[in-house]
């Protein structure tokens, strides 16, 4: 019996939110016409955080020669991070059981950011201006792991006090410094990487060397 594809990747799905389940993804099962006999299914069961979607599954107990049917699977993460599993299809075909690899990522809801741009205005060359108005908030029921805070330009330096786990419902502030080394306009992007959806989040930074 032929099964396609051999792996299903579900991407990021919210964890810790009631009813957060992926859309079904489908595996097609084909009984080649040259087999001339129907295939009888004995067990069709995904494991771990993956579940059979009966409403979108068309495979029943047998599959006639030359026919195809579909098995639909959904993903509901039980934890943050990478989640893996397998769909095992057991039947009376000679190549039974057939296995489909399943993968997905449990993600928290988006990190809330108090502002998406910081302008420092005019700053004397080699002097430093500071801004501590950037606040990160975790609105989720689970902690968020903030893994990195980086600037695309060394003239803008971000504090690292928020790196680590930001508890559910908690906030933290990031201090950003601007030290221009030449005159004229300067621009950069501040990137915040975490295990929430839509990571990395970016903040536009700007200032002028005077």
Which one of 107, 134, 156 terminates a domain?
A: 107
Q: Tell me: the pLDDT tens digits for 89-144?
A: 999 999 999 999 999 998 878 889 999 999 999 999 999 999 998 999 998 878 88
What was the pLDDT predicted at 16?
A: 66
Segments of 65-179 assigned E as strands: 68-75, 81-91, 98-107, 112-113, 117-123, 129-137, 144-151, 156-158, 164-166, 171-178
Report the candidate in 75, 77, 106, 73 with the shortest Cα–Cα distance to residue 87: 73
Residue 16 and residue 77: Cα distance in Å, rounded? 8
Same domain flag for 23 and 86: yes
Domain that holds residue 151: 112-209
pLDDT of residue 196: 81
Q: What is the pLDDT of residues 6-30, one digit of tens each?
A: 999 999 888 866 668 999 999 999 9
Query: Where does a domain end: 82, 107, 132?
Result: 107
Do residues 91 and 122 both lie within one domain? no
Same domain, 99 and 128: no
Average pLDDT over residues 140-167: 92
| Average pLDDT of the chain to the nearest whole number | 92
The pair of structure tokens assigned to 64 is: 């006639």
| Overall number of domains in the chain | 2
CA distance 162 to 146: 7
The last residue of one of the domains, among 107, 135, 161, is: 107
Asked if 16 and 83 sit in the same domain, the reply is yes
Q: Taking 80 as the threshold, does the pLDDT of residue 197 lie above it?
A: no
CATH number for position 85: 2.60.40.10
Regarding whether 48 and 71 lie in a shared domain, the answer is yes
Is the pTM of the predicted complex or chain greater than 0.85?
Answer: no
Average pLDDT over residues 146-174: 94
Kindly state the greatest CA–CA separation across the chain.
83
């Amino acid at each position: 019996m032929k099964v396609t594809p051999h792996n299903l990747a579900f991407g990021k799905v919210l964890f810790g939110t009631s009813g957060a389940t992926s859309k079904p993804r489908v595996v097609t099962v084909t009984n080649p016409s040259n087999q001339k006999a129907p295939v009888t299914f004995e067990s069709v069961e995904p494991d771990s955080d993956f579940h059979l979607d009966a409403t979108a599954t068309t495979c029943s107990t047998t599959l006639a020669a030359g026919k195809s049917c579909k098995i639909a699977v959904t993903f509901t993460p039980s934890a943050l991070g990478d989640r893996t599993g397998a769909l095992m299809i057991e039947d009376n075909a000679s190549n039974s059981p057939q296995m489909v690899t399943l993968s997905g990522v449990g993600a928290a809801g988006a990190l809330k950011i108090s502002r998406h741009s910081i302008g420092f205005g005019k700053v004397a060359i080699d002097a430093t201006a500071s801004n501590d108005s950037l606040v990160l908030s975790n609105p989720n029921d689970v902690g968020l792991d903030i893994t990195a805070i980086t600037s695309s330009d060394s003239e803008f330096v971000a504090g690292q006090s928020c790196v680590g786990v930001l508890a559910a419902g908690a906030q933290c502030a990031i201090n950003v410094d601007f030290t221009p080394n030449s005159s004229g306009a300067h621009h950069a992007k501040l990137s915040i990487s975490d295990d929430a959806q839509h990571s990395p989040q970016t903040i536009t930074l700007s200032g002028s060397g005077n």
